Structure 1
Amino acid sequence: MASSVPSLRTLSKVAFGGVQLLLGSGQTVLGGTPATCLNPQLSCQNTTVVTDLCCFNSPGGQLLQTQFWDTNPVTGPVDSWTIHGLWPDRCDGTYDANCDSSRAYTNITAIIKSASKTDLLSYMQTYWKDYNGDDETFWEHEWSKHGTCISTLDPECYSDHKATEEVVDFFQKTVDLFKTLPSYEWLSAAGITPSTSKTYTTAEIQAALSAHRSGVTVTLGCSSGALNEIWYHYAVRGSVQTGEFVPSNPDGTKSTCPATGIKYLPKSGGATPTTSKGGSTPTSTSAPGTPFSGKGYLNVVSGGANKGCLISAGTWYTTGTCATFTATENTAGAGFTLSSSKGKCAVVSGAFTCGSTVSTATVFTSAQSALVSGNGGGWSADAVASGSTQQKVYEGSGHSATIGIAWQGV
């Protein structure tokens, strides 16, 4: 029987109200300066009352950088966790929420654009994703519920405060922290990789992550026995904007994962959590780390980051389910051929195409895990794929968006 314990997402996601729209199309966030903090104390560790809450986070003194692993529907890159948020917990494990309805903004994208933080926004559009596809509403929720409760982000903590500049600081700090917490890489380095058949223990997962954080533990979230959330806890010396984030143990028992039998499902969209151990389960048909052998996904790399993958017809998509491709060794010489559920894959009229109309598969080669086109070149598209818009993938760099295609064995 599936577990009746709700996921961490369910426990933490509540309705929010009291919204306000501030920035017009002609307004720009210029920004003041956050408070200067001399010899600040470490939050949740103070022995005396601290009154300067611009240099000391209180009552939300333990900050949590929270991450998602969404597999159904698949959300974000297939080899990266995604951002949930940055939450201020009280030091006893309780928390406040929706602390200032006057700053519950409904235009986060516009606010970030007005601050000329295009790189920040682009990163969020890849790694801070809503599993229902509504990123803007998700960002608004995280800011209004959690960001407004961080004392050091209060407008009074800025000299010459400009409306909404603290919003940009909130999202920037969250992204900066997330970049220092590569959960997928840390777990993979310990042999903990997504699988439809393997299971892991809480102790194994905690050990893999605590090895990179001075031995402190994290909060693990599971839904029906499948790992889908990690919460990293910090105390902060100084403000959120400029202070030192010190890894800390959780401020209470919050993990919802079992001690053993934890599933870590791949972002393939094809597997559903189950407690049954009977029947057959898919197994890997290629050795780990062996590119273009057996079955795998074709992930797209754009701008130095994974951004979607190829689907069965050979087009580039960022919000759907990655297709499983089969790589077959070319018995007549070097290289390999590819096929999907649609049929053989080839470069047809310059575009990567898979389907029943392809009579002869193109023989491809690889450079480590990168797919090389039949003429020995790279790949490009007319534009970066986004939302529900698919893009054809062309061999060579003759189109506007230059991309790479990387193999991920399954």
Structure 2
Amino acid sequence: MLNFLTLLPLLPALLFPAPVRAWSSDNHTCALSAPIYSCENTTVIQDTCCSPTEGLVLVTQFWDTYTGLESEGSVLPENSWTIHGLWPDRCDGSYGQYCDLSRQYDPYPSPNTTTGKPDGEWVPVWEGGDIVTPLLQAYGKWDLLAYMNKYWKNLNQPDWVLWQHEYSKHATCFTTFDTGYDGRPDCYGSLYANSTEAALIDYYEAAIKGFVQYPTYEWLEAEGVVPSNETSYDIAGIQKILEERSGAAPYVGCSGPNKDVLTEVWYNTHSLGRPQSGFLKPVDAIGRTTNCNTASGVWYYTRSEGSEAEE
């Protein structure tokens, strides 16, 4: 009688059937030509598998004070912000979303159309549950899964819901993660048993490569800005620290009715070749660099009791 452990190695093939046909770009390598920085090309990109057409790559992070699932063992990492995602904006700052509905694994699509408007294509709700955990386990990616469980945390929902949301909404709009949908190239080719599996793993690894290059907590702490429930901070000071440390002006986001609770940061970059390689050059955020209240201090609150891991 087969049990779950017997079936586990077969899960990827069951979840993601192998591609029916090969594409002309199959099995090509990006090592044959010198990489260029995205958004800095002077001619049309010939190989979109090797350089993203959505070349403003955003490394995005959260500062949450609780998970809402502490009773289930979900806690936040000590002395660290957490991963939000890796986003592909176009060079002018606009962006697409849910660009390949054949790879839609988001149980709570937001927005629920591809344009965020009634005229957009409806994004179907994913009802198949967690596909990321069994996929990484099947490929023996235990260290990657452990890192994601620690640093890629969701709020009031299981972590895999955020992981699959980020992949479905954002990764499918990176041309370098294309898998042959709707006439596009298959950037992974027939050497792989399944291109979608390869793209999923690639995306999560790429997001982590970006995250570790931007240690927000360490940069702020080094300048005396630490979480506090007693002391507020000047948002301009926080922006200055992060700009000087990262090399460019990020977008700093706040929540709350007065926009005075520090909650997120988006580091804008250009990618040298594929974002999967992790060679990201900081560039200034396009447009405004914060939505935070500049008339008064902002709060960088400490984690709630029992919501932070004890190292």
Shorter-chain TM-score: which interval?
Answer: 0.7 to 0.9
Runs of 4+ in 1 over 6 A off after TM superposition: none
How far apart in 1 are the matches of 2:274 and 2:46?
13
Report which of the two has the higher share of helix: 2
How far apart in 2 are the matches of 1:87 and 1:109?
22
Instruction: State the secondary structure of the residue aligned to 1:26.
Output: helix
Amino acid at match of 2:188: Y
User: 1:56 offset after TM fit, Å?
Assistant: 1.2
1:239-290 Cα deviation digits (max 9, x unpaired): 1222621111113325211224111111125xxxxxxxxxxxxxxxxxxxxx
Q: 1:174 to 1:50 in 2, by over 3 A?
A: same
Decide whether the 8 Å contact of 1:62 with 1:251 is kept in 2: no
Aligned to 2:192: 161
Q: 1:206 to 1:242 in 2, by over 3 A?
A: same
User: 1:73 offset after TM fit, Å?
Assistant: 4.6
Instruction: State the secondary structure of the residue aligned to 1:65.
Output: strand
Aligned to 1:45: 40
Decide whether the 8 Å contact of 1:35 with 1:157 is kept in 2: no
Identity of aligned residues (%): 38
Q: 1:78 to 1:33 in 2, by over 3 A?
A: farther
Instruction: State the secondary structure of the residue aligned to 1:123.
Output: helix
Q: Structure 1 residue 36 and structure 2 residue 71: aligned?
A: no
Q: 1:34 to 1:129 in 2, by over 3 A?
A: farther
How far apart in 2 are the matches of 1:176 and 1:28?
27
Amino acid at match of 1:308: A
Q: 1:261 to 1:97 in 2, by over 3 A?
A: same
In the alignment, which of 269, 279, 292 is matched to residue 234 of structure 1? 269
Report which of the two has the higher share of strand: 1
How far apart in 2 are the matches of 1:242 and 1:73?
31
Aligned to 1:101: 101
How far apart in 1 are the matches of 2:242 and 2:304?
24
Structure showing greater relative contact order (alpha-carbon pairs closer than 8 Å, 6 or more residues apart): 2
Supply the RMSD in Å over aligned alpha carbons. 2.5
User: 1:70 offset after TM fit, Å?
Assistant: 0.8
Q: 1:43 to 1:82 in 2, by over 3 A?
A: same
Q: 1:129 to 1:33 in 2, by over 3 A?
A: farther
How far apart in 1 are the matches of 2:133 and 2:166?
13
Aligned to 2:212: 179
User: 1:172 offset after TM fit, Å?
Assistant: 0.8
Alignment of 1:234-383 (within 5 A): 234-242=269-277, 244-253=279-288, 255-259=290-294, 260-268=296-304, 308-309=309-310
Aligned to 1:221: 253
How far apart in 2 are the matches of 1:236 and 1:201?
31
User: 1:161 offset after TM fit, Å?
Assistant: 3.2
In the alignment, which of 59, 64, 73 is matched to residue 65 of structure 1? 59
1:43-91 Cα deviation digits (max 9, x unpaired): 1112221121011111x21111111111255751242111111110111
User: 1:168 offset after TM fit, Å?
Assistant: 0.3
User: 1:206 offset after TM fit, Å?
Assistant: 1.6
Decide whether the 8 Å contact of 2:250 with 2:289 is kept in 1: no
Aligned to 1:202: 235
TM-score relative to the length of structure 1: 0.57
How far apart in 2 are the matches of 1:34 and 1:117?
25
Aligned to 1:25: 8
Q: Number of matched residues?
A: 250
Alignment of 1:122-133 (within 5 A): 122-133=146-157
How far apart in 1 are the matches of 2:138 and 2:291?
40
Residue segments in structure 2 that go unaligned for 5+ positions in a row: 1-6, 14-25, 69-74, 106-127, 180-185
Decide whether the 8 Å contact of 2:133 with 2:145 is kept in 1: yes
User: 1:129 offset after TM fit, Å?
Assistant: 0.8
Decide whether the 8 Å contact of 2:206 with 2:278 is kept in 1: no
Q: 1:79 to 1:121 in 2, by over 3 A?
A: same
